[in-house]
Structure 1
Protein backbone atom coordinates (compact mmCIF):
# COMPACT_ATOMS: atom_id res chain seq x y z
CA UNK A 1 0.00 0.00 0.00
CA UNK A 2 1.47 3.33 -1.06
CA UNK A 3 1.58 6.33 1.21
CA UNK A 4 0.04 9.39 -0.42
CA UNK A 5 1.84 12.72 -0.60
CA UNK A 6 -0.76 14.26 1.75
CA UNK A 7 -0.05 11.61 4.38
CA UNK A 8 3.67 12.28 4.08
CA UNK A 9 3.18 16.03 4.57
CA UNK A 10 0.95 15.37 7.58
CA UNK A 11 3.64 13.15 9.12
CA UNK A 12 6.26 15.88 8.66
CA UNK A 13 4.03 18.50 10.29
CA UNK A 14 3.35 16.16 13.21
CA UNK A 15 7.08 15.61 13.72
CA UNK A 16 7.66 19.37 13.82
CA UNK A 17 4.83 19.93 16.28
CA UNK A 18 6.29 17.34 18.62
CA UNK A 19 9.51 19.31 19.04
CA UNK A 20 8.04 22.79 19.43
CA UNK A 21 7.24 22.50 23.16
CA UNK A 22 10.82 21.41 23.85
CA UNK A 23 12.36 24.36 22.04
CA UNK A 24 10.06 26.75 23.93
CA UNK A 25 11.80 26.07 27.25
CA UNK A 26 13.94 29.16 27.77
CA UNK A 27 17.38 29.12 29.36
CA UNK A 28 17.79 31.27 32.48
CA UNK A 29 21.14 32.68 33.63
CA UNK A 30 21.87 34.58 36.86
CA UNK A 31 24.64 37.13 37.35
CA UNK A 32 25.98 39.64 39.85
CA UNK A 33 27.54 42.91 38.80
CA UNK A 34 26.47 46.47 38.17
CA UNK A 35 24.21 48.47 35.89
CA UNK A 36 26.29 49.71 32.96
CA UNK A 37 23.72 51.48 30.79
CA UNK A 38 19.99 52.26 30.94
CA UNK A 39 17.70 53.02 27.99
CA UNK A 40 14.23 53.74 29.37
CA UNK A 41 12.78 54.53 25.94
CA UNK A 42 13.54 50.99 24.76
CA UNK A 43 12.84 49.46 28.21
CA UNK A 44 16.35 47.97 28.19
CA UNK A 45 19.46 48.03 30.33
CA UNK A 46 22.96 46.59 30.12
CA UNK A 47 24.67 44.78 32.98
CA UNK A 48 28.41 44.49 33.55
CA UNK A 49 28.84 40.97 34.93
CA UNK A 50 31.29 40.26 37.76
CA UNK A 51 30.18 36.77 38.82
CA UNK A 52 28.07 34.01 37.27
CA UNK A 53 25.90 31.52 39.17
CA UNK A 54 26.45 28.00 37.83
CA UNK A 55 23.68 26.28 39.79
CA UNK A 56 25.90 25.54 42.78
CA UNK A 57 28.12 28.54 43.44
CA UNK A 58 29.13 31.98 42.24
CA UNK A 59 32.05 31.92 39.79
CA UNK A 60 34.18 34.96 38.92
CA UNK A 61 33.53 36.15 35.37
CA UNK A 62 35.84 34.76 32.71
CA UNK A 63 35.50 33.83 29.04
CA UNK A 64 34.85 30.24 30.13
CA UNK A 65 31.90 31.21 32.34
CA UNK A 66 30.30 33.77 30.00
CA UNK A 67 31.16 34.77 26.43
CA UNK A 68 30.50 38.50 26.82
CA UNK A 69 30.83 40.44 30.07
CA UNK A 70 28.23 43.01 29.03
CA UNK A 71 24.70 41.60 28.79
CA UNK A 72 21.73 43.60 27.49
CA UNK A 73 18.04 42.78 27.80
CA UNK A 74 14.56 44.24 28.20
CA UNK A 75 12.72 44.66 31.50
CA UNK A 76 8.99 45.24 31.93
CA UNK A 77 8.73 46.01 35.66
CA UNK A 78 6.94 49.37 36.10
CA UNK A 79 9.19 50.62 38.94
CA UNK A 80 12.66 49.63 37.73
CA UNK A 81 13.52 52.78 35.78
CA UNK A 82 12.36 55.08 38.59
CA UNK A 83 14.48 53.35 41.24
CA UNK A 84 17.60 51.94 39.56
CA UNK A 85 20.48 54.02 38.23
CA UNK A 86 23.78 53.46 36.45
CA UNK A 87 26.43 51.99 38.74
CA UNK A 88 23.99 50.24 41.12
CA UNK A 89 25.14 46.83 42.32
CA UNK A 90 22.64 44.16 41.30
CA UNK A 91 21.85 40.47 41.05
CA UNK A 92 19.81 39.68 37.94
CA UNK A 93 18.42 36.74 35.97
CA UNK A 94 17.92 36.91 32.22
CA UNK A 95 15.73 34.53 30.21
CA UNK A 96 16.84 33.65 26.70
CA UNK A 97 20.42 34.91 27.03
CA UNK A 98 21.80 38.24 25.80
CA UNK A 99 19.05 40.28 24.17
CA UNK A 100 16.38 38.40 26.11
CA UNK A 101 14.24 39.50 29.05
CA UNK A 102 15.48 40.35 32.55
CA UNK A 103 12.89 38.52 34.67
CA UNK A 104 14.30 39.70 38.02
CA UNK A 105 16.67 42.44 39.12
CA UNK A 106 17.64 42.74 42.77
CA UNK A 107 19.41 45.82 44.13
CA UNK A 108 22.24 44.84 46.44
CA UNK A 109 22.87 46.76 49.65
CA UNK A 110 26.29 46.99 51.29
CA UNK A 111 28.44 44.08 50.13
CA UNK A 112 31.18 42.05 51.75
CA UNK A 113 33.19 38.99 50.82
CA UNK A 114 30.55 36.66 52.24
CA UNK A 115 27.19 38.37 51.69
CA UNK A 116 25.28 40.62 49.33
CA UNK A 117 21.71 41.06 50.66
CA UNK A 118 18.92 42.30 48.41
CA UNK A 119 17.29 45.57 49.49
CA UNK A 120 14.81 45.89 46.60
CA UNK A 121 13.76 43.74 43.66
CA UNK A 122 11.89 44.10 40.39
CA UNK A 123 10.40 41.01 38.74
CA UNK A 124 10.01 37.39 39.83
CA UNK A 125 11.60 36.89 43.29
CA UNK A 126 11.68 33.10 42.87
CA UNK A 127 14.58 33.63 40.43
CA UNK A 128 16.84 35.30 43.03
CA UNK A 129 19.68 33.33 44.61
CA UNK A 130 20.54 35.71 47.47
CA UNK A 131 18.15 36.45 50.36
CA UNK A 132 16.76 39.86 51.16
CA UNK A 133 18.29 42.05 53.86
CA UNK A 134 17.81 40.83 57.44
CA UNK A 135 17.27 37.23 56.31
CA UNK A 136 13.94 37.74 54.54
CA UNK A 137 12.79 35.33 51.82
CA UNK A 138 9.58 35.32 49.81
CA UNK A 139 7.69 32.52 48.07
CA UNK A 140 4.40 32.48 46.21
CA UNK A 141 2.02 30.33 44.19
CA UNK A 142 -0.16 31.75 41.45
CA UNK A 143 -3.79 30.71 41.04
CA UNK A 144 -4.40 30.14 37.31
CA UNK A 145 -7.28 31.45 35.23
CA UNK A 146 -7.93 28.05 33.67
CA UNK A 147 -10.23 29.52 31.00
CA UNK A 148 -7.40 31.62 29.54
CA UNK A 149 -4.43 29.24 29.40
CA UNK A 150 -2.05 29.16 26.46
CA UNK A 151 0.12 26.07 26.39
CA UNK A 152 2.09 25.67 29.61
CA UNK A 153 1.04 28.94 31.28
CA UNK A 154 -2.12 30.77 32.35
CA UNK A 155 -2.72 34.32 33.61
CA UNK A 156 -2.80 34.34 37.41
CA UNK A 157 -5.99 35.53 39.07
CA UNK A 158 -4.08 35.96 42.33
CA UNK A 159 -0.97 34.80 44.16
CA UNK A 160 -0.67 33.35 47.65
CA UNK A 161 2.45 35.08 49.00
CA UNK A 162 4.44 33.89 52.02
CA UNK A 163 7.22 35.92 53.63
CA UNK A 164 9.70 34.26 55.99
CA UNK A 165 12.57 35.57 58.10
CA UNK A 166 15.48 33.42 59.19
CA UNK A 167 13.55 30.43 57.79
CA UNK A 168 10.57 31.18 60.05
CA UNK A 169 7.23 32.17 58.46
CA UNK A 170 6.21 35.77 59.12
CA UNK A 171 3.00 36.23 57.16
CA UNK A 172 0.93 34.74 54.33
CA UNK A 173 -1.52 36.69 52.21
CA UNK A 174 -3.41 36.18 48.95
CA UNK A 175 -2.83 39.15 46.63
CA UNK A 176 -4.49 40.17 43.37
CA UNK A 177 -2.69 42.00 40.53
CA UNK A 178 -2.12 45.65 41.42
CA UNK A 179 -2.40 45.05 45.17
CA UNK A 180 0.27 46.11 47.68
CA UNK A 181 0.86 44.94 51.23
CA UNK A 182 3.41 45.45 54.01
CA UNK A 183 4.43 42.04 55.34
CA UNK A 184 5.41 41.87 59.01
CA UNK A 185 3.91 45.23 59.92
CA UNK A 186 2.30 43.95 63.15
CA UNK A 187 5.50 42.17 64.22
CA UNK A 188 8.31 43.68 66.30
CA UNK A 189 10.79 43.70 63.42
CA UNK A 190 12.56 46.94 62.57
CA UNK A 191 12.66 46.00 58.87
CA UNK A 192 9.58 44.92 56.90
CA UNK A 193 8.84 43.92 53.29
CA UNK A 194 6.66 46.22 51.20
CA UNK A 195 5.33 44.06 48.35
CA UNK A 196 3.51 45.15 45.19
CA UNK A 197 2.04 42.37 43.04
CA UNK A 198 2.05 43.79 39.52
CA UNK A 199 0.94 40.76 37.50
CA UNK A 200 1.63 37.07 37.21
CA UNK A 201 1.31 33.72 35.53
CA UNK A 202 0.70 30.21 36.82
CA UNK A 203 1.45 26.78 35.33
CA UNK A 204 -1.45 25.31 33.37
CA UNK A 205 -0.68 21.99 35.06
CA UNK A 206 -2.43 23.39 38.16
CA UNK A 207 -5.75 23.34 36.31
CA UNK A 208 -8.08 20.30 36.74
CA UNK A 209 -7.56 17.43 34.31
CA UNK A 210 -4.49 19.07 32.81
CA UNK A 211 -1.28 17.10 32.60
CA UNK A 212 2.28 18.35 32.59
CA UNK A 213 2.95 20.48 29.50
CA UNK A 214 6.47 21.36 28.42
CA UNK A 215 6.89 24.98 27.37
CA UNK A 216 7.66 28.50 28.59
CA UNK A 217 8.03 28.91 32.33
CA UNK A 218 5.43 30.85 34.34
CA UNK A 219 6.78 34.30 35.21
CA UNK A 220 5.36 36.76 37.75
CA UNK A 221 6.22 40.39 38.40
CA UNK A 222 6.56 41.95 41.85
CA UNK A 223 8.14 45.11 43.20
CA UNK A 224 9.57 44.47 46.67
CA UNK A 225 11.24 46.87 49.11
CA UNK A 226 13.10 45.66 52.21
CA UNK A 227 12.82 48.79 54.31
CA UNK A 228 12.63 50.19 57.83
CA UNK A 229 9.11 50.48 59.17
CA UNK A 230 9.73 54.18 59.90
CA UNK A 231 9.76 54.84 56.13
CA UNK A 232 6.30 53.32 55.60
CA UNK A 233 3.51 55.86 55.15
CA UNK A 234 0.23 55.38 56.98
CA UNK A 235 -1.59 55.38 53.65
CA UNK A 236 0.47 52.35 52.58
CA UNK A 237 -0.66 50.30 55.57
CA UNK A 238 -4.41 50.51 55.14
CA UNK A 239 -6.74 48.51 57.34
CA UNK A 240 -5.08 45.17 57.99
CA UNK A 241 -7.80 42.57 58.33
CA UNK A 242 -6.65 39.65 60.54
CA UNK A 243 -8.94 37.32 58.57
CA UNK A 244 -7.10 38.10 55.33
CA UNK A 245 -3.59 37.35 56.58
CA UNK A 246 -1.89 34.68 58.60
CA UNK A 247 1.00 36.05 60.62
CA UNK A 248 3.43 34.51 63.09
CA UNK A 249 4.94 37.07 65.43
CA UNK A 250 8.53 36.53 66.48
CA UNK A 251 9.73 38.96 69.11
CA UNK A 252 13.40 37.98 69.29
CA UNK A 253 14.61 37.01 65.82
CA UNK A 254 17.98 35.38 65.51
CA UNK A 255 20.03 36.37 62.48
CA UNK A 256 21.65 33.65 60.40
CA UNK A 257 24.49 34.15 57.91
CA UNK A 258 23.39 35.00 54.39
CA UNK A 259 24.41 33.01 51.36
CA UNK A 260 28.19 32.75 51.06
CA UNK A 261 29.88 33.41 47.76
CA UNK A 262 32.49 30.88 46.73
CA UNK A 263 34.45 32.72 44.07
CA UNK A 264 36.63 30.39 42.03
CA UNK A 265 37.88 30.23 38.47
CA UNK A 266 36.31 26.83 37.87
CA UNK A 267 34.13 26.90 34.72
CA UNK A 268 30.41 26.49 35.52
CA UNK A 269 28.43 23.41 34.59
CA UNK A 270 25.01 24.18 33.18
CA UNK A 271 22.08 22.41 34.78
CA UNK A 272 20.88 19.54 32.55
CA UNK A 273 17.19 20.28 33.05
CA UNK A 274 16.86 22.95 30.36
CA UNK A 275 17.08 22.11 26.66
CA UNK A 276 18.24 24.72 24.19
CA UNK A 277 16.48 25.28 20.86
CA UNK A 278 19.41 23.92 18.81
CA UNK A 279 19.09 20.48 20.41
CA UNK A 280 15.33 20.47 19.89
CA UNK A 281 15.61 21.36 16.22
CA UNK A 282 18.24 18.64 15.74
CA UNK A 283 15.72 16.08 17.00
CA UNK A 284 13.08 17.56 14.69
CA UNK A 285 15.39 17.45 11.67
CA UNK A 286 16.14 13.78 12.32
CA UNK A 287 12.40 13.06 12.58
CA UNK A 288 11.70 14.85 9.28
CA UNK A 289 14.54 13.07 7.44
CA UNK A 290 13.35 9.68 8.74
CA UNK A 291 9.79 10.40 7.63
CA UNK A 292 10.89 11.45 4.13
CA UNK A 293 13.07 8.36 3.78
CA UNK A 294 10.18 6.05 4.73
CA UNK A 295 7.79 7.87 2.41
CA UNK A 296 10.19 7.72 -0.55
CA UNK A 297 10.84 4.05 0.02
CA UNK A 298 7.16 3.18 0.05
CA UNK A 299 6.07 5.44 -2.78
Structure 2
Protein backbone atom coordinates (compact mmCIF):
# COMPACT_ATOMS: atom_id res chain seq x y z
CA UNK A 1 0.00 0.00 0.00
CA UNK A 2 1.31 3.46 -0.91
CA UNK A 3 2.29 5.73 2.04
CA UNK A 4 -0.30 8.36 1.14
CA UNK A 5 -3.07 5.78 0.91
CA UNK A 6 -1.93 4.24 4.18
CA UNK A 7 -2.19 7.60 5.97
CA UNK A 8 -5.73 8.11 4.66
CA UNK A 9 -6.82 4.63 5.75
CA UNK A 10 -5.30 5.03 9.22
CA UNK A 11 -6.87 8.46 9.71
CA UNK A 12 -10.29 7.14 8.69
CA UNK A 13 -9.89 4.22 11.08
CA UNK A 14 -9.04 6.54 13.97
CA UNK A 15 -11.98 8.84 13.24
CA UNK A 16 -14.33 5.85 13.09
CA UNK A 17 -12.92 4.56 16.36
CA UNK A 18 -13.54 7.83 18.24
CA UNK A 19 -17.03 8.06 16.79
CA UNK A 20 -17.79 4.90 18.76
CA UNK A 21 -17.71 6.91 22.03
CA UNK A 22 -21.35 6.89 23.20
CA UNK A 23 -23.08 10.23 23.76
CA UNK A 24 -23.26 11.02 27.43
CA UNK A 25 -20.78 8.32 28.47
CA UNK A 26 -20.58 8.33 32.24
CA UNK A 27 -18.74 6.67 35.09
CA UNK A 28 -20.68 3.93 36.86
CA UNK A 29 -22.40 5.02 40.10
CA UNK A 30 -22.68 2.32 42.77
CA UNK A 31 -25.38 2.67 45.46
CA UNK A 32 -25.19 0.85 48.79
CA UNK A 33 -26.93 0.99 52.15
CA UNK A 34 -25.99 -0.16 55.62
CA UNK A 35 -25.17 1.05 59.12
CA UNK A 36 -22.51 3.62 59.90
CA UNK A 37 -19.67 1.84 61.70
CA UNK A 38 -17.18 4.70 61.87
CA UNK A 39 -16.74 8.42 61.16
CA UNK A 40 -13.27 9.90 60.87
CA UNK A 41 -13.09 13.70 60.44
CA UNK A 42 -9.28 13.44 60.48
CA UNK A 43 -9.33 11.19 57.41
CA UNK A 44 -12.52 12.72 55.97
CA UNK A 45 -14.06 9.23 55.75
CA UNK A 46 -17.27 7.41 56.60
CA UNK A 47 -17.40 3.60 56.97
CA UNK A 48 -20.51 1.50 56.35
CA UNK A 49 -21.01 -1.93 57.95
CA UNK A 50 -23.06 -4.76 56.44
CA UNK A 51 -23.50 -3.09 53.03
CA UNK A 52 -26.14 -4.14 50.49
CA UNK A 53 -25.97 -2.99 46.86
CA UNK A 54 -28.89 -1.46 44.97
CA UNK A 55 -29.76 -2.79 41.55
CA UNK A 56 -32.66 -2.93 39.10
CA UNK A 57 -33.84 -5.65 36.74
CA UNK A 58 -35.22 -3.99 33.61
CA UNK A 59 -36.35 -7.27 32.03
CA UNK A 60 -37.28 -6.81 28.39
CA UNK A 61 -37.86 -3.10 28.87
CA UNK A 62 -41.63 -3.35 28.42
CA UNK A 63 -42.53 -3.14 32.11
CA UNK A 64 -41.49 -1.23 35.22
CA UNK A 65 -38.02 -2.24 36.49
CA UNK A 66 -37.83 -4.32 39.66
CA UNK A 67 -35.31 -2.79 42.06
CA UNK A 68 -33.90 -4.40 45.20
CA UNK A 69 -31.01 -4.48 47.68
CA UNK A 70 -28.59 -7.43 47.58
CA UNK A 71 -26.21 -8.14 50.50
CA UNK A 72 -22.55 -7.76 49.51
CA UNK A 73 -19.89 -10.30 50.33
CA UNK A 74 -17.85 -7.81 52.37
CA UNK A 75 -17.98 -6.61 55.97
CA UNK A 76 -17.39 -2.85 55.58
CA UNK A 77 -16.96 -0.15 52.94
CA UNK A 78 -15.06 3.10 53.48
CA UNK A 79 -15.11 6.27 51.39
CA UNK A 80 -14.36 9.97 51.66
CA UNK A 81 -17.42 12.14 52.36
CA UNK A 82 -18.69 14.64 49.76
CA UNK A 83 -18.86 17.44 52.36
CA UNK A 84 -17.54 17.79 55.91
CA UNK A 85 -21.09 18.72 56.93
CA UNK A 86 -21.67 14.96 56.92
CA UNK A 87 -19.93 14.76 60.30
CA UNK A 88 -22.62 17.01 61.77
CA UNK A 89 -25.48 15.06 60.17
CA UNK A 90 -24.47 11.45 60.72
CA UNK A 91 -23.57 9.43 63.82
CA UNK A 92 -22.47 5.86 64.44
CA UNK A 93 -25.27 3.29 64.05
CA UNK A 94 -27.31 5.57 61.78
CA UNK A 95 -28.71 3.84 58.70
CA UNK A 96 -27.35 5.35 55.51
CA UNK A 97 -27.58 5.14 51.73
CA UNK A 98 -24.33 6.06 49.96
CA UNK A 99 -23.35 6.48 46.32
CA UNK A 100 -19.79 6.08 45.05
CA UNK A 101 -18.32 6.82 41.64
CA UNK A 102 -16.51 4.24 39.53
CA UNK A 103 -16.75 1.37 42.04
CA UNK A 104 -17.76 0.45 45.57
CA UNK A 105 -16.50 2.81 48.27
CA UNK A 106 -13.44 5.00 47.85
CA UNK A 107 -15.28 8.28 47.25
CA UNK A 108 -18.86 8.86 48.37
CA UNK A 109 -20.49 11.46 46.09
CA UNK A 110 -23.82 11.35 47.96
CA UNK A 111 -25.10 10.29 51.39
CA UNK A 112 -28.63 9.99 52.78
CA UNK A 113 -29.59 9.52 56.43
CA UNK A 114 -32.54 7.16 56.39
CA UNK A 115 -35.46 6.42 58.68
CA UNK A 116 -37.38 3.15 58.52
CA UNK A 117 -41.15 3.41 58.67
CA UNK A 118 -41.52 -0.35 59.03
CA UNK A 119 -42.60 -0.70 55.39
CA UNK A 120 -40.60 -1.83 52.36
CA UNK A 121 -39.50 1.76 51.68
CA UNK A 122 -37.06 3.75 53.79
CA UNK A 123 -37.13 7.55 53.71
CA UNK A 124 -34.34 10.12 53.97
CA UNK A 125 -34.36 12.94 56.51
CA UNK A 126 -30.98 14.36 55.43
CA UNK A 127 -28.97 14.31 52.20
CA UNK A 128 -25.41 15.47 51.55
CA UNK A 129 -23.64 15.69 48.20
CA UNK A 130 -24.93 14.90 44.72
CA UNK A 131 -28.59 14.48 45.70
CA UNK A 132 -29.75 13.52 42.20
CA UNK A 133 -27.85 10.23 42.53
CA UNK A 134 -29.83 9.01 45.55
CA UNK A 135 -32.74 6.59 44.98
CA UNK A 136 -34.20 7.07 48.49
CA UNK A 137 -37.30 9.33 48.70
CA UNK A 138 -37.39 12.18 51.20
CA UNK A 139 -39.63 11.82 54.23
CA UNK A 140 -42.92 13.74 54.41
CA UNK A 141 -43.79 13.31 50.70
CA UNK A 142 -41.24 15.98 49.78
CA UNK A 143 -38.95 15.97 46.76
CA UNK A 144 -36.03 18.23 45.90
CA UNK A 145 -34.74 18.63 42.36
CA UNK A 146 -31.93 20.79 41.06
CA UNK A 147 -30.55 21.84 37.67
CA UNK A 148 -27.13 23.47 37.54
CA UNK A 149 -26.15 26.26 35.13
CA UNK A 150 -22.61 26.22 33.68
CA UNK A 151 -20.03 28.98 33.87
CA UNK A 152 -18.94 28.74 30.24
CA UNK A 153 -15.63 30.44 31.02
CA UNK A 154 -14.66 27.64 33.44
CA UNK A 155 -14.98 24.34 31.57
CA UNK A 156 -12.84 21.24 31.37
CA UNK A 157 -13.89 18.64 28.83
CA UNK A 158 -17.65 18.12 29.05
CA UNK A 159 -18.09 19.70 32.51
CA UNK A 160 -18.02 23.29 33.73
CA UNK A 161 -18.09 24.91 37.14
CA UNK A 162 -21.72 25.67 38.04
CA UNK A 163 -22.47 29.37 38.38
CA UNK A 164 -25.87 28.62 39.95
CA UNK A 165 -28.48 25.94 40.56
CA UNK A 166 -32.22 26.12 39.95
CA UNK A 167 -33.64 24.34 43.02
CA UNK A 168 -37.25 23.17 43.32
CA UNK A 169 -39.02 21.84 46.42
CA UNK A 170 -42.21 19.86 45.82
CA UNK A 171 -44.87 18.60 48.23
CA UNK A 172 -46.56 15.65 46.60
CA UNK A 173 -47.16 16.70 42.99
CA UNK A 174 -47.17 20.43 43.73
CA UNK A 175 -44.21 22.80 43.51
CA UNK A 176 -44.10 24.76 46.77
CA UNK A 177 -40.79 26.63 46.49
CA UNK A 178 -38.33 27.42 43.72
CA UNK A 179 -35.25 29.62 43.57
CA UNK A 180 -32.01 30.05 41.63
CA UNK A 181 -29.24 29.60 44.18
CA UNK A 182 -25.67 30.81 43.94
CA UNK A 183 -22.99 28.73 45.68
CA UNK A 184 -23.51 29.01 49.44
CA UNK A 185 -27.16 30.11 49.21
CA UNK A 186 -30.18 28.24 50.64
CA UNK A 187 -33.88 27.73 49.97
CA UNK A 188 -36.22 27.15 52.94
CA UNK A 189 -39.85 26.02 52.92
CA UNK A 190 -42.27 25.71 55.84
CA UNK A 191 -45.76 26.22 54.49
CA UNK A 192 -47.75 23.12 55.45
CA UNK A 193 -49.85 22.78 58.58
CA UNK A 194 -47.99 19.71 59.90
CA UNK A 195 -44.93 21.55 61.28
CA UNK A 196 -42.64 20.04 58.65
CA UNK A 197 -39.98 21.97 56.74
CA UNK A 198 -37.27 21.60 54.11
CA UNK A 199 -33.98 23.45 53.84
CA UNK A 200 -31.71 23.09 50.79
CA UNK A 201 -28.21 24.60 50.54
CA UNK A 202 -26.31 24.62 47.25
CA UNK A 203 -22.65 24.43 48.29
CA UNK A 204 -21.16 24.29 44.79
CA UNK A 205 -21.12 22.04 41.78
CA UNK A 206 -20.64 21.27 38.12
CA UNK A 207 -22.84 21.48 35.02
CA UNK A 208 -22.70 19.98 31.54
CA UNK A 209 -20.79 22.06 29.00
CA UNK A 210 -23.17 21.30 26.13
CA UNK A 211 -25.31 24.31 27.11
CA UNK A 212 -22.40 26.64 26.29
CA UNK A 213 -21.97 28.22 22.83
CA UNK A 214 -20.04 25.96 20.48
CA UNK A 215 -20.47 22.87 22.67
CA UNK A 216 -23.83 21.62 21.43
CA UNK A 217 -23.70 17.89 20.82
CA UNK A 218 -20.45 17.44 22.75
CA UNK A 219 -20.11 13.73 23.49
CA UNK A 220 -18.44 11.57 26.09
CA UNK A 221 -17.00 12.70 29.40
CA UNK A 222 -17.69 12.32 33.08
CA UNK A 223 -21.09 13.23 34.53
CA UNK A 224 -21.12 16.50 36.53
CA UNK A 225 -21.18 16.15 40.32
CA UNK A 226 -22.56 18.80 42.69
CA UNK A 227 -22.74 19.31 46.44
CA UNK A 228 -26.01 20.07 48.26
CA UNK A 229 -27.12 19.80 51.87
CA UNK A 230 -30.79 18.90 52.39
CA UNK A 231 -32.49 18.78 55.80
CA UNK A 232 -36.14 17.74 56.24
CA UNK A 233 -38.00 18.19 59.52
CA UNK A 234 -40.69 15.49 59.27
CA UNK A 235 -44.41 16.03 59.85
CA UNK A 236 -45.24 16.24 63.54
CA UNK A 237 -46.91 12.81 63.55
CA UNK A 238 -43.66 11.19 62.40
CA UNK A 239 -41.35 13.15 64.67
CA UNK A 240 -39.03 11.27 67.00
CA UNK A 241 -36.20 12.48 69.18
CA UNK A 242 -33.67 10.98 66.79
CA UNK A 243 -35.23 12.74 63.80
CA UNK A 244 -36.04 16.08 65.43
CA UNK A 245 -32.44 17.24 65.66
CA UNK A 246 -29.23 16.50 63.74
CA UNK A 247 -26.43 14.46 65.22
CA UNK A 248 -24.15 16.17 67.69
CA UNK A 249 -21.48 18.16 65.80
CA UNK A 250 -18.00 16.69 65.76
CA UNK A 251 -15.59 19.12 67.36
CA UNK A 252 -13.56 21.20 64.92
CA UNK A 253 -15.51 20.23 61.82
CA UNK A 254 -16.78 23.09 59.60
CA UNK A 255 -20.44 23.07 58.63
CA UNK A 256 -20.10 23.11 54.84
CA UNK A 257 -16.65 22.44 53.47
CA UNK A 258 -16.55 20.74 50.12
CA UNK A 259 -14.19 18.11 48.83
CA UNK A 260 -13.95 17.52 45.10
CA UNK A 261 -14.56 13.89 44.10
CA UNK A 262 -11.72 12.32 42.18
CA UNK A 263 -12.80 10.92 38.85
CA UNK A 264 -11.31 8.90 36.04
CA UNK A 265 -12.14 8.26 32.41
CA UNK A 266 -15.27 6.20 31.78
CA UNK A 267 -14.68 2.59 30.78
CA UNK A 268 -16.27 3.34 27.38
CA UNK A 269 -13.65 6.01 26.71
CA UNK A 270 -10.84 3.74 27.87
CA UNK A 271 -12.08 1.04 25.50
CA UNK A 272 -12.08 3.47 22.60
CA UNK A 273 -8.58 4.64 23.44
CA UNK A 274 -7.49 1.01 23.42
CA UNK A 275 -8.97 0.56 19.96
CA UNK A 276 -7.22 3.72 18.79
CA UNK A 277 -3.85 2.43 20.03
CA UNK A 278 -4.48 -0.85 18.26
CA UNK A 279 -5.29 1.00 15.03
CA UNK A 280 -2.05 2.99 15.25
CA UNK A 281 -0.08 -0.18 15.88
CA UNK A 282 -1.70 -1.89 12.89
CA UNK A 283 -0.83 1.03 10.63
CA UNK A 284 2.80 0.95 11.76
CA UNK A 285 3.01 -2.75 11.01
CA UNK A 286 1.71 -2.03 7.50
CA UNK A 287 4.52 0.46 7.03
Normalised to the residue count of structure 2, the TM-score between the two structures is 0.74
Q: Name the structure 1 match of 2:147.
A: 141
Q: Deviations over 1:33-69 (max 9, x none)?
A: 1112222112111212443211341223144xxxx34
Contact 2:113–2:126, Cα closer than 8 Å, also in 1: yes
Q: CA deviation at 1:135?
A: 0.9
Contact persistence 2:125–2:233 (CA under 8 A)? yes
- RMSD of the alignment, in Å? 3.4
SS of aligned partner of 1:149: strand
Q: What's 1:51 paired with?
A: 52
Q: How does 1:100-179 map to 2 (within 5 A)?
A: 100-179=106-185
Alignment counterpart, residue 60 of structure 1, candidates 65, 70, 75: 70
Q: In the alignment, is residue 208 of structure 1 matched against residue 197 of structure 2?
A: no
* Consecutive unaligned residues in structure 2, runs of 5 or more: 57-65, 237-243, 246-264
> What's 1:28 paired with?
29
- Following superposition, the deviation at residue 178 of structure 1 comes to 0.6
From the superposition, tell whether residues 188 and 84 of structure 1 become closer, same or farther in structure 2 (CA, over 3 Å). Answer: same
Whether 1:296 aligns to 2:285 is yes
Count of aligned positions: 248
Distance 1:149 1:282 in 2: 24
Cα shift at 1:167 = 2.4
CA distance in 2, matches of 1:169, 1:187: 12
| Aligned-partner SS, 1:106 | strand
1:269 aligned partner: none
Q: Taking structure 1 as the reference length, what is the TM-score of the superposition?
A: 0.72
Quote the Cα distance in structure 2 between the aligned partners of 1:149 and 1:109.
38
